[in-house]
Amino acid sequence: MRDYDEVIAFLGEWGPFQRLIFFLLSASIIPNGFNGMSAVFLAGTPEHRCRVPASAAANLSAAWLNASIPLEERDGRQVPSRCRRYRLAALFNFSAERLEPGRDVNLSQVQQEKCLDGWEYSREPYLSTVVSEWNLVCDDKWKTPLTMSLFYVGVLLGSFISGQLSDRFGRKAILFATMGVQTGFSFVQIFSTSWEMFTVLFLIVGMGQISNYVVAFILGTEILGKSVRIIFSTLGVCIFFAIGYMLLPLFAYFIRDWRMLLLALTVPGLFCVPLWWLIPESPRWLISQGRVKEAETIIRNAAKRNGIPCPEILLDAVEVEDLKTKHQQGIILDLFRTPNIAVITVMSLLLWMFTSIGYFGLSLSTPNLHGNAYLNCFLSAVIEVPAYVIAWLLLRTLPRRYSIAGTLFLGGGVVLFIQLVPARFNILSVTLVMLGKFGITSAFSMLYVFTAELYPTAVRNMAVGATSMASRVGSIIAPFFVFFDAYDKYLPYILMGSLTVLIGILTLFLPESYGNPLPETVEEMLQVKGFRNRKQSYKIGNSKKNVLSTRI
């Protein structure tokens, strides 16, 4: 009995139809690169110090006004405090008595107080951010990583919901619905009047962000042939995400006001609207829903676009029933139905989560690196391009487990090495961060292919959605890893590097999918390399089957 790939083999692998789908789905990912990392600049923290009100400043001499902010040590330098000032009442008295700070008065004996009158913010490098707009500093500085984390909470919710909705209502409908959520609520977010409003809208934007990335990946995986599928998963969607990511610091460099920057990042999403009439539904999914005529229409149109004659009968009745059985709808519990599948799922969830912590932690920490924040962010985006190329080459030639584990060891190892670099070698530290980002990004891009190859069609989108959801848990945690640099600038790198190396070791215990056809059924899933087989009853959805259970 033929499987779906055999049914559409007459279309070829890289005709005009496949090229159109490849580039349109990849292009739809560009806005994700904008929104995924936009918090780096929208929530950037400029240099700040306590404000001395104009009425008080008029009563202070120039010397006392300059000395009103105590010094503190930061990165080995004495700099003005960001959150404390000397008590103004005491300074008034000293100034009225014509005393001089440092000569007549020992400032260490003067009491300090919080910034009772707000803060003065540097206009470099940002004209305004949500931090300066709503004073998310000092006692409220915890709100900045929370803002980023809540965005990824939205992404987590979206990944969970969109995976199940696309299995139920179709890949195409949910793809454009999530793109609409991302673009529409980003526009509303421009008019935020408070931090709370901005954060709630940011959470909703997150629900549409990576969700449409996952659905676009699944749609392309199911439409394109096996050889193109790997290129699409690495050099396609990933490269176009990196293009959006690279454009982010360019937009931010020329647009320093956060509201105008957000507007500029929202507009490109509107260009995705015409894609509705160009991107078809997944024929695989249509067949699984019994909508065979619609699937045949799409396949015939693809043959016409490719200039290839189409067989009169694409699917006979027996093949239709067989494919419908193979594509039977699963439920989330199917990912844990047997102990062996549960082990694969749990290990995959941990792999995605820890890799995500490393990826987003290094990406969000770029403003804290030595040098220009815009250049560092651009370099962090550029390094992803060779990372995706290497991932593609590894996927073509080497087993999945060793490829992913090797790049994780590289990324985690060099990040751990940063703490040993002397402070004066700042450029070397930046280089190591970029090399770590290279390794972790390569591994991250291979996870989509690896996960999709492990699970059958009935639960593939659900599996990718669930593991992507675990990745979102990692991205929720990542901003707080970055926040740890307030206690020790090397602590975030120690934590991220250790987790990355650990999950690299765990990856070696997963089954190998390299060289296997894309599984259509649970039985085929359990034939992957590295398993011993035994008969066991397995229930998928509402149907009970005898399948081969496995042991690693």
The 10s digit of each residue's pLDDT in 83-100 is 888 887 777 777 776 667
- Annotate 123-150 with DSSP letters as a single string: -SS-SB-HHHHHT--GGGTTHHHHHHHH
CA 236 to chain centroid = 16
What's residue 262's pLDDT? Answer: 92
Contact 436/494 with Cβ under 8 angstroms?
no
CA gap 367, 496 in Å, rounded: 17
- CA separation, residue 236 to residues 224, 311, 377, 399 (Å): 12, 30, 21, 21
Q: Does the pLDDT value for residue 169 go beyond 50? A: yes
| Range in 53-62, 81-90, 126-135, 447-456 with the lowest mean pLDDT | 53-62
Q: Does the pLDDT value for residue 111 go beyond 50? A: yes
Show the tokens assigned to 402. Answer: 């060793």
Greater pLDDT, 363 or 322: 363
Average pLDDT over every residue of 21-48: 85
CA gap 198, 391 in Å, rounded: 36
Q: Which CATH number fits domain 1-44+141-328: 1.10.760.10, 1.20.1250.20, 3.40.50.300, 3.30.930.10?
A: 1.20.1250.20
- Annotate 308-327 with DSSP letters as a single string: ----S-S--HHHHHHHHHHT
- Annotate 148-193 with DSSP letters as a single string: HHHHHHHHHHHHHHHHHHHHHH-HHHHHHHHHHHHHHHHHHHTT--
The model's pTM:
0.75
Contact 543/458 with Cβ under 8 angstroms?
no
CA gap 399, 439 in Å, rounded: 17
Local structure of 545: helix, strand or coil: strand
Helices (H), 170-291: 171-189, 195-223, 226-231, 237-254, 258-266, 283-288
Q: 393 burial class (0-12, 13-18, 19+ CB within 10 angstroms)?
A: middle
The 10s digit of each residue's pLDDT in 464-522 is 777 877 887 888 888 887 776 666 677 888 888 888 888 888 888 877 766 666 666 56
First and final CA of the chain: distance in angstroms? 29
By percentage, how much of the chain surpasses pLDDT 70?
Answer: 80
The 10s digit of each residue's pLDDT in 6-33 is 777 777 778 888 888 888 888 888 888 8
Q: Does the pLDDT value for residue 166 go beyond 60? A: yes
Local structure of 536: helix, strand or coil: strand
Average pLDDT over every residue of 541-547: 45
Local structure of 509: helix, strand or coil: coil
- Annotate 59-99 with DSSP letters as a single string: TS-HHHHHTSS-EEEETTEEEE-SSEEE-HHHHHHHHHTT-
Greater pLDDT, 186 or 8: 186
| Residue 180: closest CA among 10, 378, 31, 18 | 31
Tokens 């989509």 label which residue? 448
CA 434 to chain centroid = 17
- Count of helix runs (H) and strand runs (E) in the chain: 25, 8
CATH architecture of 330-552: Up-down Bundle (1.20)
Q: Does the pLDDT value for residue 458 go beyond 70? A: no
What's residue 547's pLDDT? Answer: 39
Greater pLDDT, 455 or 44: 44
What's residue 126's pLDDT? Answer: 86
Reported confidence tier of residue 322, pLDDT bands at 50, 70, 90: low
Average pLDDT over every residue of 353-368: 82
CA gap 429, 153 in Å, rounded: 31
What's residue 259's pLDDT? Answer: 93
240 — phi, psi (to 5°)?
Answer: -70, -30
Q: Which amino acid is at 434?
A: M
SS3 content of the chain, % helix, strand, coil (to 5): 70, 10, 25
The residues spanned by each domain of the chain are 1-44+141-328, 48-121, 330-552
Contact 42/129 with Cβ under 8 angstroms?
yes
Contact 377/367 with Cβ under 8 angstroms?
yes
Q: Does the pLDDT value for residue 531 go beyond 70? A: no
| Residue 68: closest CA among 97, 96, 94 | 94
